[in-house]
Amino acid sequence: MKLNLACGNNPIKGFKNIDKYYYPDTPEKRGWTELNPEHGVPEDYDWEEGDFTTCLDKFKDNSIEVVMIVHGLEHTYWEGAVHTLKEIYRILQPGGVVEIEVPDLEKAFDFDYETMLDIVYGGRTEVSLEFGHGCGFFRSMLFKLMKDTGFKDIEEIKVGFGTGRPEPDRNFRFKGVK
């Protein structure tokens, strides 16, 4: 089994797509009225409502081959991110892979003020208060967190897979192996 955590309206075929705000039965929860048109229709995907910080406990140890969490980890608080990585490690099979993409906190300060607010806080609107970023990551921070959790062969890879709009100038992505 493969998991796509915090998938939003960017599900991946062949993955169980989990999100607490977007899933086909209640798109109004997040204000989305439809699936990203490039991705087809909701019936083409395996969906589940869930919060990645709490839903992983239902998966057995060593039962998942791949976990993707693209623009999700920054939407929790630091301890939530630590807990989530420990749970991902627990449920991954030996040799299983995690891919994590987050905004690059270091790059946030290379941009104009409005863009910096978008990266750090997830936006400049009222919606940011509910759906904004709870923590941020520098490359060295996420690398250390993944290493301390037990992941090996950690490497930076190209951003974009599993996202609606790749932004390599604002984000980075790591891959790690259990």
Minimal CA–CA distance to 8: which of 17, 16, 74? Answer: 17
Phi, psi dihedral angles at 143 (to 5 degrees): -60, -50
* DSSP, res 162: T
Q: Regarding predicted confidence, which is higher, 132 or 91?
A: 91
Question: CA 108, CA 167: separation in Å to the nearest integer?
Answer: 13
Residues 94-131: tens digit of each pLDDT: 999 999 999 988 887 777 767 767 766 676 666 555 66
Residue-level pLDDT at 133: 74
Residues 144-157: tens digit of each pLDDT: 999 999 999 999 99
Q: In the predicted model, is pLDDT for residue 164 greater than 70?
A: no
DSSP string, 47-90: EEE--TTTGGGGSPTT-EEEEEEES-GGGS-HHHHHHHHHHHHH
Question: CA 41, CA 61: separation in Å to the nearest integer?
Answer: 32
Residue-level pLDDT at 36: 65
Confidence of residue 26 (pLDDT cuts 50, 70, 90): low
Residues 73-95: tens digit of each pLDDT: 998 989 999 999 999 999 999 99
22-36, 46-60, 161-175, range with the lowest pLDDT: 22-36
Q: Which domains are assigned to the chain?
A: 2-106+135-177 (3.40.50.150)
